[in-house]
Amino acid sequence: TVIDDVADLNKLKFDYIVVGAGTSGVVVANRLTENKDISVLLLEAGGSNADVLDIEVPWLCLIATPDTAQDWNFTTTAQPGLNGRAIAYPRGFGLGGSSAVNYMIYTRGARDDFDRFARVTGDNSWSWDNLVPYMKKTERFSPPADRHNTTGQFDPSVHGFNGINTVSLQGFPTGIDSRVFAVTDELAEFPFNLDMNSGNTIGIGSTQVTIKDGVRSSSATSYLAPEFINRPNLHVLLNAHVTRVLPATTGSFRTVELVHGSNVTRLTVTAGKEVVLSAGSIGTPTILQHSGIGNASFLTQLGISPLVDLPSVGQNLTDHVLLLDSWFVNSTDTIDEANRNATLFGEQLAQWEDTHTGPLVNVAGSQIGWLRLPANASIFERFEDPASGPTAAHFEILFENGKLGPPTPEGTSYISISNALVAPTSRGFVTINSTDPLAAPLIHPNLLGTEVDIFIMREALRASARFAAAPSLKDYIITFDSFDPAFTDAQLEEYIRANSGTVFHPVGTAAMSAKGAGFGVVDPDLAVKEVSGLRIVDLSVLPFIPAAHTQAAAYIIAERAADIIKAAQC
Ligand SMILES: Cc1cc2nc3c(=O)[nH]c(=O)nc-3n(C[C@H](O)[C@H](O)[C@H](O)COP(=O)(O)OP(=O)(O)OC[C@H]3O[C@@H](n4cnc5c(N)ncnc54)[C@H](O)[C@@H]3O)c2cc1C
């Protein structure tokens, strides 16, 4: 039930307060309110996001951020690894959080990623095998928008078909599909992978997406569908920017302070049992630091009384790096024409509005793949392999039937063969910079901050160039557009630093560690160390970044967290 009058906050009692109605927070609020005797208040800084076309139409995700009403509109600090550029750092603002603005690619990650979580936290319940039930529980694997025959495009045995969030395959064929798959037969370094969500990610396969019948499926449209949001024991307050958590009694942080809408008066509300922070990898450490939970000497310098000295808060920010690359092709059957021809695009949008079919039901990335450096790569002579294990990639390769970005000149057509660095060794931070809790924090993802990261990116581009030279693409690709495959190491590095950005996957800023470890922010049960009444459930808790697009991890962790919280009720 959406609370219309903020004065009602005083009249109601809440067992739990969940801060942030994003990907993870909504899952927790949904699962806890399955028990009608449990009352939950879900607080979201943004609005409802209902009926926003750029959110609903899959292809339009490309313009849903940055600099929009459903984005926090953050900017990073100047990034040394990007030649000093500061870049936009989108985060979803409003119901669904980042799941309402993301690009919908759905990848769980590698078996080794989760097994590493189990290893570093000393808690085997975070292992892949123990999380598979939650992977299936969240997922309703469904037919694609065009109802095409999906045999041979995924492995049904690894999926869930009765969950809440829809996962499907892309729903419109593209002109490059058969060529990309043909290359997996031609070049051994690019194997075919029937289902990258099986635990073994390595290889190239069909992209799985959170799209239901041609429309985005976010945590807001799935876990907050009418039958859930209308539960009498689930109370949702929109436009509620949480400023701090406060100790209700010494050490028990069950009180939340917030401002509502444009009213600057700070309100407080107290949970009977627990507060769950699900404000994401930027929001959660920001709230903690304003609350005096963080590096005590840093907070003192800033003028905030430290209440709990947890120096890991806001540290360990880890993100993936994306570089879009294109090649000229001799076809007109690409997205480039609709990108520059308003009439054609209008027809596609009309088709989507009529039937939720057509090219706009797709998202960028007709196929994706996950690849590793060779075991004898020279970088491993001096540095440890940063990947979690053999099922996890060092870099991703993403294909699209045309060039992404602004319209291209008349008569030009492209294929994109892009790359992401998915085993980064760089670590950055999120820190507050002012005592004003409404001020944006400093965000330093430290993209391409290490020699290992630039090495992996260079080799990823070289792999893309080898892909582009495969027999099935030889007559299709005319020449390079973005970078010359003959570039030297130095030229490639210069090109990468000048053109890379984020894949929007920040994690790790309130990381889990073993109970009693002298670092980290939460224990393996996601309870904040050294306090009571406060848990964190969002991607800030990940100690390492999975080699995958990260939304699936948010759903999986939140499903398990809900069970942890329920078990603690008794
Ligand atoms: C543009 C973009 C594209 C992406 N593409 C993909 C993709 O294709 N595939 C994929 O897997 N992942 C993708 N991601 C990443 C993925 O969406 C996120 O990793 C994931 O959704 C994060 O979940 P979360 O629960 O940690 O945080 P979020 O979903 O961001 O939720 C945090 C919520 O907390 C709210 N909040 C924050 N601070 C406060 C406060 N002080 N008070 C009240 N509320 C607050 C926010 O408004 C938000 O609703 C993308 C992300 C973006 C931004």
The residue-averaged pLDDT of 71-86 equals 98
Q: Residue 54: what pLDDT?
A: 98
Q: Answer whether residue 387 shows pLDDT above 80.
A: yes
Angle at 151 between CA 192 and CA 415, to 5 degrees: 50
Distance CA 293, CA 285 (A): 9
Asked if 122 contacts 524 with a C-beta cutoff of 8 angstroms, the reply is yes
**532 strand-pairing partners:** 252
Q: Which residues pair with 206 in a beta bridge?
A: 367
Written as one letter, the residue type at 167 is V
Q: Write the ipTM.
A: 1.00
* Ligand 1 mutation target, pool 550, 555, 556, most atoms within 8 A of CB: 550
At residue 251 the predicted structure's pLDDT band, cuts being 50, 70 and 90, is: confident
Substitution candidate for ligand 1 out of 23, 42, 281 with most atoms within 8 A of CB: 23
Contact 194, 205 (CB under 8 A): yes
Q: Which residue's structure tokens are 């219309």?
A: 4
Q: Averaged over 333-352, what is the pLDDT? A: 97
The tens digit of pLDDT for each residue in 176-235 reads 999 999 999 999 999 999 999 999 999 999 999 999 999 999 999 999 999 999 999 999
Copy the structure tokens of residue 282.
């930027």
| CB-ligand 1 contact for 92 (6 Å cutoff) | yes
Residue 449 sits at the vertex; the CA angle it makes with 445 and 450, to the nearest 5 degrees, is 140
The structure tokens listed for 169 are 């395959």
pLDDT in tens, 409-431: 999 999 999 999 999 999 999 99
The band of 71, judged by pLDDT with boundaries at 50, 70 and 90, is very high
Report the pLDDT value the prediction gives residue 60, as an integer from 0 to 100: 98
Residue of 551, 555, 556, 557 with the most ligand 1 atoms within 8 Å of its CB, for mutation: 551
Percent above pLDDT 70 for the chain: 100
**Residue position matching structure tokens 């931070």:** 429
**pLDDT value of position 517:** 97
Confidence at residue 249, expressed as pLDDT on a 0 to 100 scale = 79
Is residue 234 within 6 Å of ligand 1 at its C-beta? no
pLDDT confidence bin for 364, thresholds 50/70/90? very high
Q: Which atom of ligand 1 is nearest to the CA of 103?
A: 8
Residue 570 has pLDDT above 90, yes or no: no
For residues 395-420, average pLDDT: 97
**Distance (Å) from CA 283 to ligand 1 centroid:** 10
Task: Using most ligand atoms within 8 A of CB, pick from 18, 102, 526 the residue to mutate for ligand 1.
Answer: 102
- Indicate which atom in ligand 1 lies nearest the CA of residue 20: 34
- Domains, the chain, in order of start with CATH, read 1-104+217-319+432-442+506-570 (3.50.50.60), 142-213+321-423+449-499 (3.30.560.10)
Span 508-542, pLDDT tens digits: 999 999 999 999 999 999 999 999 999 999 999 99
- CA 21 to chain CA centroid, nearest Å: 15
- At residue 398's C-alpha, the angle toward residues 493 and 346, to 5°, is 115
Confidence of residue 250 (pLDDT cuts 50, 70, 90): confident
Q: How far is CA 440 from the centre of its chain?
A: 20
C-alpha 203 – ligand 1 centre gap (Å): 27
How confident is the model at residue 38, as a pLDDT? 98
Work out the mean pLDDT of the chain and round it to a whole number: 97
H helices present in 5-110, as ranges: 23-32, 53-56, 61-64
Name residues whose C-beta falls within 8 Å of residue 513's C-beta, 6 or more positions apart in sequence: 120, 121, 312, 519, 520, 521, 522, 523, 543
- Which amino acid residue places its CA nearest to atom 50 of ligand 1? 102
Q: Is the CB of 209 under 6 A from ligand 1?
A: no
| pLDDT of 506 over the 80 cut | yes
Instruction: Enumerate the β-bridge partners of residue 263.
Output: 260
